[in-house]
Structure 1
């Protein structure tokens, strides 16, 4: 697949970042193929506010993949996936992970379907739907929502999708103590894990939330 939409010099920093994250540098070609497709579509459809492909390597690809070790297998619903972040990079990195890209915006869903087809991602599918309307109760081991809402808001629209024992994995900057305190009854923080994103300054945390087991009467 051609990468004509990309400036030269992206391969080396991407491979370096992948190595820092404990991933194979051999993932660079399919990730750059996805990035080239995103850059081409972004010119017409405004899929992301980040316009510089060099920044996209860090802020989209590597930032999405910083959580990869927490979702290497099972089923994942990426809520409000937008242009496929973090769902598509995670699907590329982990072929054994089954990813559903949940996106209600028509133009973004069209891009996602094209990306899944063009990249040959047999482990990814697109659900053009609002998360709360997705009829897949208790179908997923994990939920992600990169920039969708507060933790309580994500639980409200997507909590029904989680299997018993499943986890919501939310990418945040600093630990969102107020959001954690505002979680609805029956939900609680599992852990907040600091993440290191190659090339990205500032704090980054993966906030893991799950259901609280009901106490016996």
Structure 2
């Protein structure tokens, strides 16, 4: 059974990424992955169906942006199956994570994950990004397979603090999306991500307002 390979795949992947996690954190990540795999059969939470690719494309891919998560409270928009929000919350227990998605089935899954994993640092919101009204804006907003960059900044503009930034996870570098960013927005930095076992390119784009628009 492929799932029996998950612990070794995770250990080896973390070692290659030079990430040191406790046994409890690793077990929580694997428990989350098992939940995702189980619920995915009915809820279509992720396109990844091959159990042999799940550690790499779900867990390690989510954790690849760890060096750029610097805020005390991160919003994950279009959280879907909890990627990257749930793995990040497991690894960063002292930081808060709010997971936002408009799909009721997906937010029900996220609530179940929070319950079963005992994640005290995660809040789940069922709703559309453009309708969300937080008490205060977020300094960082992550997204993975959520939307094009121009749509993201349009829908989530009011959710981002004045000097905040989006952490947009992409595959190949999206030249067309970058070119289509509206006035007042820029890619402040881009980073090629190392995801052990994952084929193809992975990039993180840090998107922020231009100084003139702040």
Q: TM-score category by the smaller chain?
A: over 0.9
1:138 deviates by: 4.8
1:149 deviates by: 1.0
1:117 deviates by: 1.2
1:76 deviates by: 1.0
2:124 to 123, 126, 134: 126
Residues 37-85 of structure 1 show CA distances to partners (whole Å, capped at 9, x for unaligned) of 1122122222222122221111111111110111144211111110101
1:19 deviates by: 2.1
Rounded to whole Å, the distance in 2 between the matches of 1:7 and 1:178 is 38
Rounded to whole Å, the distance in 2 between the matches of 1:17 and 1:102 is 28
Rounded to whole Å, the distance in 1 between the matches of 2:71 and 2:55 is 24
Partner of 2:190: 192
1:170 to 168, 172, 183: 168
Equivalence map 1:17-166=2 (5 Å): 17-26=13-22, 27-136=25-134, 138-166=136-164
SS of the residue corresponding to residue 9 of structure 1 reads helix
Q: Going by fraction, where is helix more abundant, 1 or 2?
A: 2
Q: State how many pairs are aligned.
A: 212
Rounded to whole Å, the distance in 2 between the matches of 1:79 and 1:64 is 14
- Structure 1 pair 138–214 and aligned structure 2 pair: CA distance change class (3 A): farther
Moved more, 19-28 or 36-45: 19-28
Rounded to whole Å, the distance in 2 between the matches of 1:41 and 1:32 is 14
TM score, norm. by length of structure 1: 0.91
> Is the Cα contact below 8 Å between 2:102 and 2:128 reproduced in 1?
yes
Gaps of at least 5 residues in structure 1 are none
SS of the residue corresponding to residue 155 of structure 2 reads helix
Rounded to whole Å, the distance in 2 between the matches of 1:215 and 1:198 is 38
Gaps of at least 5 residues in structure 2 are none
Rounded to whole Å, the distance in 2 between the matches of 1:165 and 1:6 is 44
Which of 1 and 2 has higher RCO (CA within 8 Å, sep 6+)?
2
TM score, norm. by length of structure 2: 0.93
> Is the Cα contact below 8 Å between 1:6 and 1:39 reproduced in 2?
no
- Structure 1 pair 137–191 and aligned structure 2 pair: CA distance change class (3 A): farther
For the aligned residue pairs, the C-alpha RMSD in angstroms reads 1.8
Partner of 1:16: 12
